[in-house]
Amino acid sequence: MTAESLPERLDDLPVEPKDFLQLVAVDFSGTYHVYLAAKDERLKMTRLSMSLLAAPFAAAIALASAKVINPGALTSWDGVPWYLFATIAAFGLLNMLPFLRLIEAVNAHMRTARALNNFRLLYVVQLKDHFSALGWTPNLPVDPRYPETYAPLAWPGINVMMLALVNSSYIAVGTLGMVGADPNTALLLVAIGLLALLHYAVYYVRANVSRRRRLPHNPFHFPNVET
């Protein structure tokens, strides 16, 4: 069956209320799996991030154990060799990968949840009379933008922003150490702040660009309730 052969109106579909009740079960099962998949990806990316952030410390311990560097030299800024600062900066940059994947995991989760909300609107309209007879009203979001992809105060958003702050600290410390800059607190804070703002800009753009994606083909002419 092609899109051209489908009926133009939903009223022409041979769908009974009992069929929509089956869709309800599939809907909530799908919601559950979406949450599990999003949680699983966030956990994997968090673990990867922690591994990357721990790598410079492991390198310093290995170098000190092999007596390549004096452990006492690591207690002062000037005593840390440049290649250790380079390692810190490099792993700060590498940690951008889990940072970006965390953003995409949240976006994919929210976009799928929006699609499920649109699907709920379909069967709620079709089962309106049936639900009224049962005395039950579905708890559907009235805001078509729910759930919001940009939610910095939700736990996934906080996770992303904390990772951005740590990334910024690694990159700033590593870069300033490589160029031999003095460990000025004000300079360090400014560098970390600017890099954190750059991370935040990436998060903001990626979290909002999902609203402007192209709409899918709509052969049944369903009303678009998503912004």
Q: Map out the domains of the chain as residue ranges.
A: 17-210
CA 38/CA 71 separation, integer angstroms: 42
Give pLDDT tens digits for 53-65: 999 889 888 888 8
Question: Which position has the token pair 């994606």?
Answer: 213
CA 123/CA 106 separation, integer angstroms: 26
CA 16/CA 18 separation, integer angstroms: 5
Give pLDDT tens digits for 142-184: 555 666 777 778 788 888 899 999 999 999 999 998 888 887 8
CA 130/CA 133 separation, integer angstroms: 5
pTM above 0.85, yes or no: no
Q: What is the mean pLDDT of the chain?
A: 76
- Does the pLDDT at position 208 exceed 60? yes
CA 77/CA 176 separation, integer angstroms: 10
CA 71/CA 198 separation, integer angstroms: 34
The predicted pLDDT at position 102 comes to: 86
Query: Integer distance in angstroms from the first to the last C-alpha of the chain?
Result: 30
Counting every residue written for the chain, the total comes to 227
CA 57/CA 80 separation, integer angstroms: 12
For Cα atoms 221, 120, 224, give the angle at the middle one, nearest 5 degrees.
30
CA 85/CA 65 separation, integer angstroms: 18
Question: Which position has the token pair 């492991």?
Answer: 58
Query: Measured between alpha carbons, how far is residue 50 from residues 122, 161, 198 in Å?
Result: 43, 15, 21
